[in-house]
Amino acid sequence: MKLSMKVTYPLLLSGLVLASFGAQATGKYNGQDRGKPVMPSVVNAKVQSECSGCHIAYPPGLLPAASWQKVMDGLDQHFGVDASLPAADRQSITDYLVKYASNRWTANAAPLRITDGEWYKVKHIRSGKVTEAIVKRESVKSKSNCQACHSGAEKGQFDERSVKIPK
């Protein structure tokens, strides 16, 4: 199957680019990239079909390349489920995720989960905006359920002005 890619640039805020250089230079999270993962969101047909059955197809810019590599190397034990793929699909999806990964993290900060990343915790948990009680709601269920509160999540749209926490 041929990969079809559509590139959109919904969130290229100029500040992101500067912040990314800072983070790379020190090799550590420096607080500048709070809540601002690198977009563009690049939509890929294979990822849409293979990675959106159980949750949204997370945009590649939400994790660094080293994280995607780990996720894709462990699909047989993927957060408690078997999400294995034929080798060719796994390879083409890995290539895509790695290519469009965030360049604002470093290998020593490569969690398996987006929700274990520093910026996620700062924006959601430590800000007090996403409490445990909110996560438990039937309409949310998991802090990984981005689209419960960000309707444009799959397209990489997380602008805080469009956040809506469901009742």
Name the site residues for ligand HEC (rule: CB under 6 A).
35-37, 50-51, 53-55, 58, 62, 71, 78-81, 83, 93, 113-115, 123-124, 129-130, 134, 140, 142-146, 148-150, 158-160, 163, 165
Q: Which is nearer to ligand HEC, 113 or 155 (by Cβ)?
A: 113
Q: Which is nearer to ligand HEC, 42 or 114 (by Cβ)?
A: 114
Q: Which is nearer to ligand HEC, 28 or 70 (by Cβ)?
A: 70
Token pair in block for residue 50: 């293979």
Q: Which is nearer to ligand HEC, 62 or 65 (by Cβ)?
A: 62
Is 97 within 8 Å of 47 (Cβ atoms)? yes
41-44 and 5-8 strand pairing:
antiparallel
Degrees, nearest 5: CA angle 6-152-166: 165
Q: Closest approach of Cβ 20 to ligand HEC, in Å?
A: 14
Query: What single-letter amino acid sits at 75?
Result: L
| Among 41, 86, 73, 77, CA closest to 60 | 41
Q: Closest approach of Cβ 102 to ligand HEC, in Å?
A: 11
| Among 33, 43, 37, 32, CA closest to 12 | 37
Q: Closest approach of Cβ 149 to ligand HEC, in Å?
A: 3
Q: Closest approach of Cβ 127 to ligand HEC, in Å?
A: 6
